[in-house]
């Protein structure tokens, strides 16, 4: 059935595995063997894909799979105590499957609901605003073995939490208005408008969108591809969730505008697995746009302007937010970032010229088509034209979505969201920058504080060491393992912070962190590895007492238990006398 639905195309392998798991609840070995044979792929390749994505399961899991969001903001809202309550009520421990196979509980990375946490996923479907009452209701529904579709619908409802609108969020254009305008001026003039707008990518890197589109248009190939990167996995960001929920037409129209510019016939929306609940409404919007003539053949009545969009799901891999990793994932492979050059604009999806743009970037293209590039460039700053959506979460009265012109100060955002006694703001997610109060006059803009949108607020009751510890564990978990410096370096970094958290750290560990920072920055293959130490390095510079509180009064304490590591060798050789152990050091001399 899965093969019939997707065809025997290896690039659909990930989508097939997701569909198969939906049906079987896990991925039995014989199903993987059948799939590998049908697609004429080595079984190891199929297994490799399953092993890469944290939402795919090669071992049996509970009929109800519960994953608590482990973002620092969810923790601040009490997620740990709620998970403990649920585990106690259902008689199991985190990471376990219940004896009857009914339920399994674990944690996952940020689920994109930081404005209404704590949050969890139940079989991939998100539930926000968890509290003790909701946990008790969920436990009861599980005990009754009620199918998920029969659970109260209000459990799966969310707030949009839009608190500040500017050009994008107050846009009232009807479907097709922006396309009509771009078609009317012609392809070349439309690209000139894009150039005049100075629009830069809103996914974080800030590359000029028109330059990307031009390179793709000029690439010698008959087929071009447009990809919308809706894999916002950066902890603390959720603005793409709200855009896809409240303004899906703008996003799809932006993709079609990109197709008009570059001459693409196929588009993909790569939707992060955590946003599974958005998929039915997105598919319905696509169907309506096809019926209205804004997707499909001869769009807007223009012969030869044919373009359509497919939705592909991710499966819980943060690194797939990196555009080349995303393309690998779209091709049904492990999401390992590619070596560049060549760049996706010339060699992207299946080797075809491809533009990959973020959700917000594409939605912004509609404003440019509607009002012109110059009008778009009239707001913002010299190097950052237009507005920026911020996902505000943490210690403030009104967490949610805020749209400001670029150049807004951190203090203005804090005032708008009702934050007080603020100790720090983490802008740009775990990979971003930690700002102390003396920096709150800095501006959100590519030339000062760049961000994909996450804006996490911490008041003066918070421990910034704990914040960085959470981020570093996140990176160690999300490292794709392709390159050794990142695979090992992020684990060592997490281990060092674990040691500090246990109160066993020494000043030498702080020096070790700086060494690891250098290693990761110099030798990592992609941005995940090089950014991983950022929160710790910022924390050491700006909140050093929070780290020093965890130090032992000793110069050195080993992070690696050498004597423990030799246990296996002692067993094998059958020698476990005192001489086979390392001498214990007196505490003072360590």
Question: Applying CB under 6 A, which residues contact ligand SF4?
Answer: 319, 337, 479-483, 486-487, 524-526, 528-529
Cβ at position 536, least distance to ligand SF4 in Å: 16
State the Cα–Cα distance between residues 79 and 76, nearest whole angstrom.
7
State the Cα–Cα distance between residues 273 and 14, nearest whole angstrom.
12
Cβ at position 475, least distance to ligand SF4 in Å: 8
Cβ at position 486, least distance to ligand SF4 in Å: 3
Quickly count: other Cβ atoms within 10 Å of residue 347's Cβ: 19
Length of the chain: 590
* The two three-digit tokens of residue 147, written as one number: 């199918």
Nearer residue to ligand SF4 within complex by CB, 104 or 479: 479
Phi, psi of 68 (to 5 degrees): -85, 135
Cβ at position 531, least distance to ligand SF4 in Å: 9
For residue 290, how far is the Cα from the chain centroid?
29
Nearer residue to ligand SF4 within complex by CB, 318 or 458: 318
Nearer residue to ligand SF4 within complex by CB, 337 or 353: 337
Nearest-CA neighbor of 532 among 501, 487, 482, 465?
487
Nearer residue to ligand SF4 within complex by CB, 16 or 520: 520
State the Cα–Cα distance between residues 193 and 4, nearest whole angstrom.
43
Cβ at position 50, least distance to ligand SF4 in Å: 18
Cβ at position 529, least distance to ligand SF4 in Å: 3
The three-state secondary structure class of 442 is coil
Nearer residue to ligand SF4 within complex by CB, 518 or 575: 518
Nearer residue to ligand SF4 within complex by CB, 450 or 485: 485
Cβ at position 276, least distance to ligand SF4 in Å: 24
Contact by Cβ (8 Å): 525, 486: yes
Cβ at position 428, least distance to ligand SF4 in Å: 17
Q: What is the distance between the terminal CA atoms of the chain, rounded to a whole angstrom?
A: 63
> Taking the alpha carbons of 475, 105, 159, 315 in that order, is the dihedral positive or negative?
positive
State the Cα–Cα distance between residues 389 and 165, nearest whole angstrom.
9
Nearer residue to ligand SF4 within complex by CB, 76 or 486: 486
Torsion of CA 118, 124, 125, 126, to 10 degrees: 20
DSSP 202: T
Quickly count: other Cβ atoms within 10 Å of residue 357's Cβ: 27
Nearer residue to ligand SF4 within complex by CB, 176 or 335: 335
Cβ at position 525, least distance to ligand SF4 in Å: 4
Cβ at position 269, least distance to ligand SF4 in Å: 23
Nearer residue to ligand SF4 within complex by CB, 247 or 525: 525
Nearer residue to ligand SF4 within complex by CB, 473 or 525: 525
For residue 250, how far is the Cα from the chain centroid?
21
Q: Which residue has the tokens 């929070």?
A: 546
Cβ at position 487, least distance to ligand SF4 in Å: 5
**97 bridge partner residues:** 104
State the Cα–Cα distance between residues 254 and 209, nearest whole angstrom.
12
State the Cα–Cα distance between residues 203 and 206, nearest whole angstrom.
7
- Phi-psi group of 214: left, alpha or beta (phi > 0 → left; psi -120 to 50 → alpha; rest → beta): alpha
State the Cα–Cα distance between residues 586 and 590, nearest whole angstrom.
7
State the Cα–Cα distance between residues 188 and 494, nearest whole angstrom.
51
Nearer residue to ligand SF4 within complex by CB, 12 or 482: 482
């Amino acid at each position: 059935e899965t093969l019939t639905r997707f065809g025997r195309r290896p690039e659909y392998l990930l989508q097939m595995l997701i569909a198969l798991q939906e049906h079987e609840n896990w991925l039995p070995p014989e199903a993987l063997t059948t799939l590998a044979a049908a697609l004429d792929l080595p079984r190891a390749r199929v297994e490799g894909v399953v092993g890469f994505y944290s939402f795919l399961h090669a071992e049996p899991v509970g009929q109800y799979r519960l994953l608590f969001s482990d973002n620092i903001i969810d923790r601040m809202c009490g997620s740990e105590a709620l998970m403990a309550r649920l585990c106690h009520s259902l008689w199991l421990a985190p990471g376990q499957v219940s004896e009857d196979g009914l339920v399994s509980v674990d944690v996952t990375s940020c689920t994109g609901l930081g404005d209404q946490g704590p949050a969890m996923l139940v079989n991939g479907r998100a539930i926000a605003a968890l509290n003790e009452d909701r946990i008790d209701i969920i436990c009861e529904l599980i005990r009754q073995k009620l199918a998920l579709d029969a659970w109260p619908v209000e459990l799966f409802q969310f707030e949009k939490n839009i608190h500040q609108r500017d050009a994008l969020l107050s846009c009232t254009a009807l479907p097709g208005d922006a396309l009509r305008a771009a078609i009317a001026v012609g392809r070349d003039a439309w690209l000139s408008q894009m150039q005049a707008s100075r629009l830069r990518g809103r996914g974080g890197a800030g590359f000029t969108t028109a330059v990307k589109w031009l390179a793709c248009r000029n690439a010698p190939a008959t087929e071009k591809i447009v990809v919308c990167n809706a894999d916002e996995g950066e902890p603390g960001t959720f603005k793409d969730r709200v855009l896809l929920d409240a303004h899906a037409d703008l996003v799809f129209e932006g993709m079609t505008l990109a197709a008009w510019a570059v001459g693409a016939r196929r588009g993909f929306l790569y939707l992060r697995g955590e946003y599974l609940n958005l998929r039915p409404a997105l598919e319905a919007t696509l169907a309506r746009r096809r019926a209205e003539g804004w997707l499909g053949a001869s769009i807007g009545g223009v012969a030869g302007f044919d373009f359509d969009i497919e939705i592909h799901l991710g499966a819980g891999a943060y690194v797939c937010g990196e555009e080349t990793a995303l393309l690998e994932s779209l091709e049904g492979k492990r999401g390992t970032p590619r070596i560049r050059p060549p760049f996706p604009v010339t060699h992207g999806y299946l080797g075809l010229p491809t533009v990959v743009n973020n959700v917000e970037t594409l939605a912004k293209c509609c404003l440019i088509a509607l009002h012109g590039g110059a009008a778009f460039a009239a707001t913002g700053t010299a190097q950052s034209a237009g507005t920026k959506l911020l996902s505000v979460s943490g210690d403030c009265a009104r967490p949610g979505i805020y749209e400001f012109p670029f150049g807004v100060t951190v203090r203005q955002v804090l005032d708008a969201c009702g934050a007080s006694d603020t100790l720090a703001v983490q802008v740009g997610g775990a990979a971003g920058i930690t700002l102390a109060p003396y920096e709150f006059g800095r501006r959100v803009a590519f030339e000062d504080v760049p961000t994909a949108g996450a804006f996490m607020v911490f008041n003066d009751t918070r421990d910034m060491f704990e914040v960085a510890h959470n981020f570093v564990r996140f990176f160690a978990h999300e490292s794709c393992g392709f390159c050794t410096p990142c695979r090992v370096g992020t684990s060592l970094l997490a281990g060092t912070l674990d040691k500090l958290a246990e109160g066993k750290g020494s000043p030498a560990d702080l020096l070790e962190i700086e060494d690891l920072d250098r290693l990761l920055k110099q030798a990592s293959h992609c941005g995940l590895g090089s950014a991983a130490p950022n929160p710790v390095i910022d924390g050491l510079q700006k909140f050093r007492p929070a780290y020093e509180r965890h130090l032992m009064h000793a110069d050195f304490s080993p992070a690696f238990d050498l004597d423990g590591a030799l246990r296996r060798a002692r067993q094998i050789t059958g020698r476990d006398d005192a001489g086979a152990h390392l001498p214990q050091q007196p505490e003072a001399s360590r």
